[in-house]
Structure 1
């Protein structure tokens, strides 16, 4: 291994350990959203990749739902309720989208939800660091 590779790996490890939970959530959701966008563009050529991207996105929302349903969650009750509603919508719409054989539906509503959450996480992180 070269010195630059070792330094890069050490930097990435340090960045991972010092990132806030919101930053980690934002990064993960950004990756998931990008995967859905790309998979939607290639939906006709690779429907399995589209289904995988939707499945991974739904896995994220399942984790969110479990977290906000927990009594130990520190978020305000109204925000927890709103996030749980977004999970329910995402779950319902993902099922409809996966069953949509004539491809009349697209993933735009899911992409928009994720992008709005990403912006919210970005804003809350900026507020917390001020």
Structure 2
């Protein structure tokens, strides 16, 4: 690549928007929720894809639980406790979904609630 082309690309618009941490968190929840919703519609014919989506959701919530359990986390203590409780519920409910003793809708509801909060529509801001 010559210097002129390098200069053009260095100052051109990027295709990826700059995101805030909240925006990044929202995007992760949206992507995983979409994957879970899509695979749940075909779980009878492609159960492995559904299991992968459930696993991605569980990993997200495990990461969140770990983050809010950290004493250096800046969120208010009450909010941290609520997020930790939701993570515990999500992890336990996922096990029930995998054994066929529950459905995935509560997991999607929780994710949607968190997404609303991240957008400033809920009280979890």
Q: Normalising by the residue count of structure 2, what TM-score does the alignment of the two structures yield?
A: 0.84
Q: For residues 101-112 of structure 1, what are the structure 2 equivalents within 5 Å?
A: 105-112=102-109
Taking only aligned residues, the RMSD between alpha carbons, in angstroms, comes to: 1.9
Which runs of structure 1 show a deviation greater than 6 angstroms over 4 or more consecutive aligned residues?
none
CA distance in 2, matches of 1:63, 1:50: 20
Gaps of 5+ in 2: none
Q: Which has the higher contact order (CA 8 A, sep 6+)?
A: 1
Computing the radius of gyration over CA atoms, which structure comes out larger, 1 or 2? 2
Once the two structures are superposed, residues 93-120 of structure 1 have per-residue CA deviations (whole angstroms, 9 ceiling, x without a partner) of: 00111111xxx53210000000000000
Q: Normalising by the residue count of structure 1, what TM-score does the alignment of the two structures yield?
A: 0.81
Gaps of 5+ in 1: none
Give the number of aligned pairs: 113
The answer to which structure has the higher helix fraction is 1
